[in-house]
Each structure stands twice: as C-alpha cells, then as structure tokens.
Amino acid sequence: MTDIVLPLKGLVVLEFCQYLSGPSAGLRLADLGARVIKIEHPEKGEAGRKLSIKNLWVGSDSLLFHTINRNKESFTADLKDAEELQTVKQLIAKADVLIHNFRPGVMEKIGLDYSTVKQINPSLIYAEISGYGKAGAWQGKPGQDLLLQSITGLAYASGDQGDAPVPCGVSIGDNLCGAQLVQGILAALIRRQKTGQGALVETSLMESLLDFQFELLTTYFASGQQPVRSKISNANPLLSAPYGVYATQDGYLAIAMMSLAQLATAIDCHILHSYSQSDAFAKRDEIKELIAQHVAGNRSSYWLEKLHAAGLWSMEIMDWQQLSTHEGYLCLEMEQTINVPGADITTTRCPIKIDGSRIYSGTPAPLLGEHNQKIQEEILSEHLFTQPKL
C-alpha cells in the first residue's frame, strides 16, 4: 500500500461477528485504517471459519473466512466465564466501536447489550445487525441471506415472467447490510467528534434489502400492483423494451435504455420502426421477441460496433475469465495477494481511493487467538491506543 494516512487510523473496533454481514463491515473499517479485533470463542472461533465455499480451505479455516477477515486481529474469550468477560469489558472501555450481528437477545443474555455497555464506555459507537429487526414475528428467525431475499420479494425481480423466483447469485443482503452499518458508524463517529456523544447504530438484512428495492416498492405503493417481469429478456420489471439481455450468435448482449427508433436504425431492424415509443412498455414482450430474433443472427462484436457507433448503451456479457484479461478490468488493479502460511490467496482490494491512492490491505486473517498475549499486555499497560481518537 502506498504511504497514505488512512482516515480511521487510531480507532479500535471490537468485532463480535460471524459469517458475512458483520465481518464485511469490520473488513471495510479495517481497510480504512481502523484496528479491528475479532472477539472469538476460544475453541470454536467465529462460525465463519468453518463456512466452506466449494470445499475450499486454507489451513484449518475456510477460504471465505480468510478473504473477509484479512487485516484483523483475533482475541479469544469465553463470554460465559466471569473473569474472561471482565477482560472483554476492559477492552470495551477502551474501544471506539463495537459491532455484532447476533440474533436479538444474545448480547443481552451475555450482559453486553447497549444499555449495559454504555455505562462502561459512554462514548462508544455500538453497532448491530439483525436479520429482521428486533421486534415482530420474525425477530428470532435465522438471518440468512437467501431467506431474506426470499421473504422480501427480491427473488421476483430477476428471471423472466414464466420462471420460478430467481435469487441473486451473491449474498447481496449481507454485503449491503454490512456497507450500510459502516455508513451509520461513520455518521455516529462524526457526531461524536462534535459532541462527545456515543451512539447505538442498528440495521437489519431485511431493511437493507427493502431499501435496495426502493424503485420496485415505490411503484407498488403507488399502483397497488406487483411489478411484472417481461416474458423474455427481463433485466428490470419496471423498464420497457429494449432493456434486457439477448443471445447472439456467439454469446450474449446487454442492451440498456434507448429509443426504439434509434435502436432500429443502429441495428438495421426495420420492423421496429412500426412501433412508437409509447409501445415500448405496452408491447414490451412483442418488441423484445423481435429484437431477440434479429440479434441472434450475428456475433456480439458485430452488434456492439453498430450500437457504439450510434452512441447507444450496450455491452457484451462476460464471464470472469473473459473479464480478468480485459484492459478495462486490468487498469483498475482490483486484485491483491494475501500471504498465508502455505498459500497465497488472490482476492479483491478495497474499492475506495484516498487522495488518489488505492488501498491494499494484504495482512492475512488471524489465527484463532493469535493476538491474545499482545492485547492482554496492552490492556495491562494501558497502551491499547497509540493514536488520537476520533
């Protein structure tokens, strides 16, 4: 990483988190310079250590754990043990931020809920993620990404009209929620800088995914009707033809918003001239079918040349192998290497630039309890903080 002063340098974050949503928030805070200490069970560790994707492991921990927990430290404590809990409370007294993504009631049972913790550290930013919020019929249900995509209706935004519900192919609820928690934490830190006041910051996977669908939901609230996916080439149930993905002779083409007349001229599909722009939604499926039949007759590069020459928005659909060799990807320098004993892991970097510099943080994820001795010594010597606090 280049020599830049990261904006969160000097802040200490205690991460009581597992799996993806909470750890993703901790990762971004660490990328931005915070010292993030994972509080883990002495024997089991954080549950994400054993969450294997495609049965990929690095040492005794999953590949996913290594990628989402790089640049952090690990401190183990049995929170059911009074003495070890007291040690954790000493850490809390000196921390800036505490984040957790346990189900509602878990931190209360331990004795680390906000009302208790703020007595230890009134200026603490206490940030929590739940699955469905802290009230209502679903509050105790598992906050798992696919379940939240399903219950919030998101699975009806993808796929064509005749398809079964189609969830996103990534854990979008976890990632969005983690990012929004970071937004709340940063806002609370700014207020603390001004007033000295701590804060309770709360969000949930359900609220994040509802916010994500604001266009669909606002349309539903206004019309009282469920948005309907197009029968062919659906990419957004609210948008008219030609918006969608179309098969070509050798791949797929994404065609975004444009007038039918411009598209007809650009790709020499003269039958489209018989439709007015007011038909673009009313006759969406009919028009999309005509476009699909037309572009299937030639290669993606042929259509792209015509569309781009006309200044129209279109791109080919790439897989990861194609993307990873393209100059448009390579110039971003999005990859970084994490050196783990016995393996090198290639993953993505923080997508944010500070003062024109990219942020790379290749410190590997911690071994379970790797930093216990160091942190214990710092607690006793009161040197946990070596930088000014926000």
Residues in a beta bridge with 168 = none
pLDDT tens-digit series, residues 297-350: 999 999 999 999 999 999 999 999 999 999 999 999 999 999 988 889 999 999
Q: Which one is predicted more confidently, 204 or 381?
A: 204
Last residue of a domain, one of 275, 290, 324: 324
For the question of residue 96 being annotated catalytic, the response is no
Residue 133 lies inside a defined structural domain of this protein:
yes
- Answer yes or no: is pLDDT of 374 > 60: yes
Give Cα separations from 134 to 140, 198, 325 (angstroms): 8, 20, 46
- Answer yes or no: is pLDDT of 389 > 60: no
Question: Helices (DSSP H) in the chain: which residue ranges?
Answer: 21-31, 63-68, 82-94, 106-110, 114-120, 145-151, 172-195, 205-212, 214-223, 260-267, 279-282, 284-295, 300-309, 320-324, 327-330, 372-381
- Answer yes or no: is pLDDT of 215 > 60: yes
* Residue 142 sits in the same domain as residue 250: no
Which residues span the domain enclosing 152?
12-212+332-381
* Residue 32 sits in the same domain as residue 172: yes
- Answer yes or no: is pLDDT of 4 > 90: no
Residue 6 lies inside a defined structural domain of this protein:
no
Instruction: Give the CA count within 13 Å in the CB-facing half-sphere of 266.
Output: 22
Residue 224 lies inside a defined structural domain of this protein:
no
Cα–Cα distance measured from residue 102 to residue 262, given in angstroms and rounded to the nearest whole number:
52
Provide CB contacts within 8 A for 336, sequence distance 6+.
Answer: 346, 347, 348, 349, 360, 361, 362
pLDDT tens-digit series, residues 137-176: 999 999 999 999 999 999 999 999 999 999 999 999 999 9
Task: Give the model's confidence band at 113: pLDDT under 50 very low, under 70 low, under 90 confident, else very high.
Answer: very high
* Residue 134 sits in the same domain as residue 173: yes
Q: What is the pLDDT of residue 65?
A: 94
Q: Which one is predicted more confidently, 385 or 216?
A: 216
Number of domains in the chain: 2
* Residue 19 sits in the same domain as residue 56: yes
* Residue 145 sits in the same domain as residue 206: yes
Burial 147-174 (b: 16+ CB within 10 A, else e): bbbebbbbbbbbebeeeeebbbeebbbb
Pick from 34, 12, 61: nearest CA to 365: 61
Task: Give the model's confidence band at 186: pLDDT under 50 very low, under 70 low, under 90 confident, else very high.
Answer: very high
**Mean pLDDT, the chain, integer:** 94
Task: Give the model's confidence band at 38: pLDDT under 50 very low, under 70 low, under 90 confident, else very high.
Answer: very high
Q: What is the pLDDT of residue 44?
A: 92
- Owner of token pair 């928690």: 181
Catalytic residue among 174, 211, 268, 319: 174
Give Cα separations from 330 to 322, 325, 335, 346, 360 (angstroms): 11, 7, 9, 14, 16
pLDDT, average across residues 361-375: 94
* Residue 198 sits in the same domain as residue 339: yes
Residue 255 lies inside a defined structural domain of this protein:
yes
Residue 171 lies inside a defined structural domain of this protein:
yes
* Residue 26 sits in the same domain as residue 75: yes
Task: Give the model's confidence band at 385: pLDDT under 50 very low, under 70 low, under 90 confident, else very high.
Answer: low
pLDDT, average across residues 129-136: 95
pLDDT, average across residues 40-69: 90
The CATH number covering residue 248 comes to 3.30.1540.10
* Residue 164 sits in the same domain as residue 22: yes
Q: What is the pLDDT of residue 382?
A: 73
- Answer yes or no: is pLDDT of 379 > 90: no
